Amino acid sequence: MRTNIIKIIKKKMRKERYAILCLMEEHEFKSLGENRKFQQEKLYKIVSYAYENVPYYRKVIRENKISISEDTIFEDIKKIPPLTKPILRKNFDSLKATNFRGYFYKSTSGGSTGEPVIFLHDESYSNASFAAKELFYSWAGLMDGDTLIRLWGSERDVFGEKESLYIRLKNRILNRYTLNTFVMNDEKMRRYIEIINKKKPKVIETYVQSVYELARFIKNNRLEVHSPHGIITSAGTLYPEFKELIEDVFQTKVYNRYGSREVGDMACSCKKDEGLHLNMFNHYVEILNDRLEPCNPGAMGQVYVTSLHNKVMPLIRYQIGDMAVPAKNEQCSCGRGLPLIEKVAGRTVDIFKTKNGELIDGEYFTHLLYFKEGIEKFQVLQKDYNSIIVSIVLKKKESLKDIEEEIEDITQKIKLVMGEGCNVKFKFVDEIPPSKSGKYLYTISEVS
């Protein structure tokens, strides 16, 4: 009985996912004006839904005497105060929709301010995120049944756990493979290159840092590597030098994708590479200066995003913590009616190095710490090969005793990748200052 229900739900879910994907494909080459109209309707729907069902927004909209109509929604929304991470944390309960009865799940993110935030996602959010991912895969050339290799971080792999049978089976059917890049060493890189050469993926989806390290390794060792149709990079800043080296080594095009845990994938570059196209079917993105005015093309500002699908906890004008620059040309010569941003200056994590040459992606440490509820802020610093210092700002009510077990767990997991001999120290502090550039760094390695 239960399995039958699951089957029905999954079938239904898949239907919705593909319906959203078809809609995106149908709309991507329509004019910018037509797509704006489409977005306007969606934006109005989610804002009025939030007003009716979410106590926090009801209060904010009333207090600021904001009237909302579909015709003026792009102007109306400017009057809603941005949602910052501290506000989200403080108003977590009143940000939940009171009418929501469906399935939802918890996610956690650090964001550039380094303070973990918990938020909720529902099924329609996950369907829309799935569709956006597939749309961007197709830009890089991936068609149904084509092989995809992901160079991605997997804690499970490091801890010796396996993915569920369902996920493994599904990926096998879809020809999708994940190679764990949290821990990379020469031997692993050689093996991954062998796998890439054997599987000949049409597309590689990867952390920026992972494929950059792999490209360097291939070049330095003069190895041969299969050239995929495209490489999609994500989770990190794609510096021009990185892109040049990756494209040169793999003899292919790099597609720069921008996304976050809170709202999913927001933008991706296309073959023409004239900027990153915003996926306006899933999000309404504003790039604003310190006075909360829209930035002129070429000027850098903060990213504020309104998620158009998530009904369990709508995020309206959410300050994600990244900086971006609107493009000088609003449209791309590829003909897509999706506006462009020039670049994103995203979150920063470092690569850590062990004495025997293993490279550990900084994301490994951030993942260990994001999910600890007693921790308000953190920073992981590698002083030298055998010394890691974790600075922690505890949440107000928490005491050291409350998180003793978690500290032990984190220590073990750090030693698992850095080696038993690694000295892991914890520093409990009141504040962690940002770097000189004003950017908050979760992970810093002084071993270059």
CA torsion 356-242-222-177 (nearest 10°) is: 80
Does 338 contact Zn ion by CB under 5 A? no
Radius of gyration of the chain (CA): 22
Nearer Cβ to Zn ion, position 13 or 334?
A: 334
Nearer Cβ to Zn ion, position 31 or 412?
A: 31
- To the nearest whole angstrom, how small is the minimum distance from the Cβ of residue 337 to Zn ion? 10
Q: What are the φ/ψ torsions at residue 442 (nearest 5 degrees)? A: -75, -40
Does 332 contact Zn ion by CB under 5 A? yes
* Residue with token string 């010796």: 160
Nearer Cβ to Zn ion, position 17 or 336?
A: 336
Q: What are the φ/ψ torsions at residue 291 (nearest 5 degrees)? A: -90, 10
Stretch that binds Zn ion, among 31-39, 94-102, 290-298, 329-337 (CB under 5 A): 329-337
Nearer Cβ to Zn ion, position 193 or 332?
A: 332
- To the nearest whole angstrom, how small is the minimum distance from the Cβ of residue 303 to Zn ion? 20
* Per rule CB under 5 A, count of chain residues that contact Zn ion: 5
C-alpha distances out from residue 440 to 86, 109, 111, 435, Å: 15, 14, 9, 6
Q: 306 has which bridge partners?
A: 284
Does 334 contact Zn ion by CB under 5 A? yes
- To the nearest whole angstrom, how small is the minimum distance from the Cβ of residue 22 to Zn ion? 20
- To the nearest whole angstrom, how small is the minimum distance from the Cβ of residue 343 to Zn ion? 15
Strand bridging mode 276-278 / 423-428: unpaired
Cβ count within 10 A of residue 198: 9
Does 135 contact Zn ion by CB under 5 A? no
Nearer Cβ to Zn ion, position 260 or 269?
A: 269
Yes or no: say if 389 and 427 are a contact pair by the CB < 8 Å rule.
Answer: yes
The SS3 call for residue 367 is helix
- To the nearest whole angstrom, how small is the minimum distance from the Cβ of residue 272 to Zn ion? 5
Helix 2-27 to helix 123-139 angle (10° resolution) is 50
47, amino acid identity: V
Cβ count within 10 A of residue 242: 20
Nearer Cβ to Zn ion, position 42 or 336?
A: 336
- To the nearest whole angstrom, how small is the minimum distance from the Cβ of residue 269 to Zn ion? 7
Handedness of CA 85, 255, 236, 409 (dihedral sign): positive
Compute the 3-state secondary structure of the chain and give helix, strand, coil in percent, each to the nearest 5.
Answer: 40, 25, 35
Stretch that binds Zn ion, among 179-187, 326-334, 341-349, 402-410 (CB under 5 A): 326-334
Q: What is the per-residue DSSP string for 388-417? A: EEEEEEEPTT--GGGGHHHHHHHHHHHHHH
Nearer Cβ to Zn ion, position 338 or 410?
A: 338
Read off the tokens for 249: 């080594």
Nearer Cβ to Zn ion, position 154 or 256?
A: 256
Stretch that binds Zn ion, among 20-28, 74-82, 172-180, 328-336 (CB under 5 A): 328-336
**Contacts with Zn ion in 227-286 (CB under 5 A)?**
270, 272
- To the nearest whole angstrom, how small is the minimum distance from the Cβ of residue 223 to Zn ion? 32
**Contacts with Zn ion in 387-446 (CB under 5 A)?**
none
- To the nearest whole angstrom, how small is the minimum distance from the Cβ of residue 138 to Zn ion? 13
- To the nearest whole angstrom, how small is the minimum distance from the Cβ of residue 34 to Zn ion? 16
Nearer Cβ to Zn ion, position 264 or 275?
A: 275
Does 32 contact Zn ion by CB under 5 A? no
Catalog residues that contact Zn ion under the rule CB under 5 A. Answer: 270, 272, 332, 334, 336
